[in-house]
Amino acid sequence: MLDSFLMETCANKCRLLIRSSYLEGALYAVMVGMAEAFALFFAVKQEMPLDQLAILSTVPILMGSISQWLMPVLIPQSKLRAAKLFFYVVQVAGLVLLCIATLQATLFPWMFAALSLYWIGGLSAGPFWLEWIAKEVPSKAFGSFLSRRNAFVSFCTLIAYVSAASFLNDNTQARDFLIVFAIATTARFASFLCQWMLSRAHIDWSKKKAHKRPNKTPLPFQPIFWMIVLTVCFKFSVSVSSPFFLPFMLKELHFGILEYVSLTSIPFLGRFLFLAGWGRASSNIRPFIGLQISCIGIAFIPALWVYLPNFWLYAALELLSGVLWGGFELCTILILQRFLQKNTLRMMGLHMSLMSAASVMGALAGSWLMKNQSNYQDLFMISSGVRMLFAATMVIVFLRIPSTKTRLIVYGQYLTTVLSLRPSFANVGRMISPRRR
């Protein structure tokens, strides 16, 4: 999975950076696939009351989003690496409390403290990590690097998630969850050590040669502003229905645990196979095109869930969902990193914070609709309709702005590049083939 272009152009410094970032990404994936994916599942298995579950699923994320917005404003650029490492430690502390929570009779206060620290540390570290890595990787290779690394992380998350689900399928006692959460905690602590060593190595590099941030592509702020506003609105419309797919699968479709785990793991496979294509397609001004395509595709997903007749079609839809969401997330990051002329860290923190807050508000709106006599099918259709509204608005806005306007044929070329599996199969070949000299 190592990007050969980066390895050839960045010499020894970038070699160490790339290898370490892939290792750290794999460790991060273990944490997500084992702790984040099963924390609320553990609370449900322990028969926590619904009102407490509602608090655990919303308030810690909201606290994390507020911290994600404030920290880049309060912490100066000179403390970038220290801030990144500090929030890694905060997330590790949350995971430690999550392990302790499995041993407690009074579960809620421990789970609330654990998830609060987890989301504050994880969400706050995100902008600092992205700003740091953008300074280290050459701008012309940043999209390729980020897409390939994210694809690798998705593949590792898939393995960790399926492994944990297989273990917990027949073992759902508190001590079994403790084993899974302890592995996740160890992995996150190891990723912190990896980042700490990379930060120390950066000091040595900077003594030899100062690394200057490359000039960014000139672009007016208008399209960036509309990207932020419309993606936040779109995220709200997505979260109106997204929390309710789990009960829909279990209560309406009567899926078992094996079917549920299979469906929820398939999106990681979609990301792994096609993220490299998103990175290759998103050169120059094209992340705006990718953002429009991904939003249009995501808008149809809830409506299709209502009408599909069998498990295999749901699996195909989830594969498509993983492909589209991988592109959505990558394109938003590339737009801010590539085209924002100043205050990148603060704007990225604000955007991520608004997206997290929109997710919480969307979930609350969906919950209100369900309480007012709506069923799952109606909720999915409402969410799909609102998604389509914002996706269409995005297309119209970007077609009216001269700097993002493009021809229809470019959309087709972009999709052709994204859906090409040749880069992904080449990556797999590099992973399993023996090294040649």
45-79 pLDDT tens trace: 788 886 787 788 778 988 988 888 888 888 887 78
Higher pLDDT, 323 or 255: 323
Q: How far is CA 289 from CA 160, 273, 286, 404, 423, in A?
A: 33, 20, 5, 8, 20
- Do residues 174 and 287 share a domain? no
Tokens for 120?
């504050």
- Do residues 103 and 133 share a domain? yes
Residue 436: the pLDDT is: 35
Contact 27, 194 (CB under 8 A): yes
108-117, 213-222, 226-235, 252-261: segment of lowest average pLDDT: 213-222
Q: How confident is the model at residue 1 (pLDDT cuts 50, 70, 90)?
A: very low
User: How many angstroms separate the CA atoms of 285 and 281, rounded?
Assistant: 10
Query: What is the per-residue pLDDT across 273-313, written as a single tens digit (0 to 9) for each?
Result: 888 888 888 776 688 999 999 999 999 999 999 888 789 99
Which residues make Cβ contacts (< 8 Å) with residue 295, sequence separation at least 6?
231, 234, 328, 387, 390, 391, 394
Q: Say how many C-beta atoms besides its own lie within 10 A of residue 149's C-beta.
A: 23
- Do residues 165 and 249 share a domain? no
- Looking at residue 358, which CATH number applies to its domain? 1.20.1250
376 has a pLDDT exceeding 90:
no
Domain limits for position 337: 219-437
Total domain count, the chain: 2
Exposed/middle/buried for residue 93 (C-beta within 10 Å: 0-12, 13-18, 19+)? middle
Q: How confident is the model at residue 212 (pLDDT cuts 50, 70, 90)?
A: very low
203 has a pLDDT exceeding 70:
no
244-253, 261-270, 355-364, 427-436: segment of lowest average pLDDT: 427-436
Residue 5: the pLDDT is: 46
Last residue of a domain, one of 181, 215, 249: 215
Contact 28, 129 (CB under 8 A): no
Higher pLDDT, 237 or 82: 237
Query: What is the per-residue pLDDT across 389-412, written as a single tens digit (0 to 9) for each?
Result: 999 999 999 999 988 888 888 888
Look up the pTM and report it: 0.79
User: How many angstroms separate the CA atoms of 241 and 260, rounded?
Assistant: 17
Last residue of a domain, one of 215, 232, 259: 215
